[in-house]
Each structure stands twice: as C-alpha cells, then as structure tokens.
Amino acid sequence: MDNNVRIPTQEMTIGETGTLFLRRADQWIMQICPYQENNCSHNCPLFSEPVPMQNGMDLLLLCKKQLVGPLRDLRLPDTPAGPTPAADPVPDLAKMPNK
C-alpha cells in the first residue's frame, strides 16, 4: 500500500449562520441540501462539527460526503481566519439568496 496517497482537498467556509460554502473556480459557492430546498448548514443533524487533523487540515462529515481541507469557521469569532489567503472574499451572507 502506498502511504503517499494524495487525498483531494477542498477549501471550506462555515458562515456566521452555519451555512456551508465551498471554494470553486475562485468563488465561494453556497451549498444546497440534497434532501430539502435549504442551504446545507449546521442546523442539519447530519452536518458534523469540524474535526481538526494532524496535518493542519479539517475533516467535515456531511450526509453524502466527507470533505478534507482548510476550513474557516466564521461561527467562532475567536478563531483565526485560517489558511485561506486574505485576498479571498469572505461570503457576505446578507447578499446570498436564501432558499
């Protein structure tokens, strides 16, 4: 078994209200629940709390997938912004459509 297997990573942000955003094509994209017409958020019982990993990444368990990557959790005001470059826009939740 190759111990140097590269796991794809995904930049993630959990917004102040708990909504999940993923970075795709240099934009933060709000994620939609696959079961309901709502935003994917921490209100769902299938949305785990992030688990810090030894490599500085975070593990996020969701209903249909597991995500590994750098995470910004804006629900926690005391938490540093994390590894996402400062030039990246932080999602403005007030301007996002809420289904």
Is 13 contained in some domain? yes
Is 61 contained in some domain? yes
Q: Structural domain of residue 71, as residue ranges?
A: 6-76
Is 96 contained in some domain? no
Is 92 contained in some domain? no
Query: Domains in the chain: how many in total?
Result: 1
Mean pLDDT of 29-40: 91
Predicted confidence (pLDDT) at residue 7 exceeds the cutoff of 90: no
pLDDT the model gives residue 52: 92
* Cα 15 off chain centre by: 8
Predicted confidence (pLDDT) at residue 10 exceeds the cutoff of 70: yes
Is 56 contained in some domain? yes
- pTM summary value: 0.70
Predicted confidence (pLDDT) at residue 48 exceeds the cutoff of 90: yes
Is 37 contained in some domain? yes
Dihedral class, residue 26 (left if φ above 0, else alpha if ψ from -120 to 50, else beta): left
Is 67 contained in some domain? yes
Is 65 contained in some domain? yes
